[in-house]
């Protein structure tokens, strides 16, 4: 099977089916650092891409990649197998369900309370990433690895195993906690403290850009 584009009406997510029936969804808003909420259609088009995979039985796996220097400066994506390049740092939004067992209390506190970006070397022990690869040609290498890994495996068995790991009860709990988190986020956005923090962040970033320009 040759590589072919699908969902050609999409512009902020580029959808391509590769050999081995691997669907690549490439975030395509590099000017906005592929940030969710920074453009009009990115989230909607990404969901449309996932729905395409769900509705087409020939798709064996989905690989999410991105154009530009940043995968995403906005909300983090999670998946079954995450591969990072060697320069990546993580600064992720809170998750009451997944962070504590994955990162432990110390790193979870740094992420949630201090909003730190943490170098990948400090996360290697968590199992968050399947492996770390050189930055050059990362998307192509990952797609090739997925193709090779799935070539001799039973997709039905993988789906069955995943359904046992991600039960309806777990899904319901994730949706419940997500609703709680979003409610807290919405309330925080309405406070003076939140607005003042955003202003300070923007001023600090503008000063840093100005300093670099003078150099």
For the chain, what percentages of helix, strand and coil (3-state, to nearest 5) are there? 50, 15, 35
Q: What's the confidence (pLDDT) of residue 56?
A: 95
Average pLDDT, the chain: 83
Every domain of the chain and the residues it spans = 1-85+134-154, 87-132, 167-215
Which helix (H) or strand (E) element contains residue 131?
strand 131-133
DSSP 8-class letter at 97: T
State residue 34's pLDDT score: 86
pTM of the entire predicted model: 0.72
Report the C-alpha gap between 25 and 76 in whole angstroms.
15
For domain 1-85+134-154, the CATH class is: alpha beta
Kindly write down the DSSP assignment for every residue of 13-63, as one continuous string: EEEEEETTTEEEEEE--GGGTT-TTSSSSHHHHHHHHHHHHHH-TT--EEE
Query: In whole angstroms, what is the distance from residue 72 CA to residue 80 CA?
Result: 18
Over residues 53-105, the pLDDT tens digits come to 999 999 999 999 999 888 887 653 344 555 555 665 554 444 677 888 888 89
Interval 97-151: pLDDT, tens: 788 888 889 998 998 888 888 888 888 888 888 888 888 888 899 999 999 989 8
């Amino acid at each position: 099977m040759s590589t072919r584009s699908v969902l050609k009406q999409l512009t902020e997510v580029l959808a391509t089916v590769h050999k081995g029936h691997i669907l690549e969804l490439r975030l395509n808003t590099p000017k906005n650092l592929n940030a969710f909420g920074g453009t009009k259609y990115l989230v909607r088009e990404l969901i449309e891409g996932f729905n395409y995979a769900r509705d087409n039985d020939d798709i064996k796996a989905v690989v999410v990649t991105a154009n530009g220097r940043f995968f995403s400066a906005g909300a983090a994506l999670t998946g079954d197998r995450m591969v990072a390049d060697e320069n990546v740092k993580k600064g992720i939004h809170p998750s009451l369900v997944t962070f504590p067992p994955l990162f432990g209390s110390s790193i979870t506190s740094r992420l949630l309370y201090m909003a730190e970006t943490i170098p990948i070397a400090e996360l290697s022990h968590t199992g968050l990433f399947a492996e770390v690869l050189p930055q050059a040609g990362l998307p192509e290498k990952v797609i090739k690895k997925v193709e090779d890994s799935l070539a001799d495996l039973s997709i039905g068995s993988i789906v069955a195993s995943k359904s046992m790991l991600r039960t309806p009860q777990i899904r319901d709990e994730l949706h419940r906690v997500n609703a709680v988190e979003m409610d807290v986020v919405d309330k925080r956005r309405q406070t003076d403290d939140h607005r003042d923090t955003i202003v300070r962040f923007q001023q600090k970033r503008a000063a840093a850009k100005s300093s670099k320009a003078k150099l």
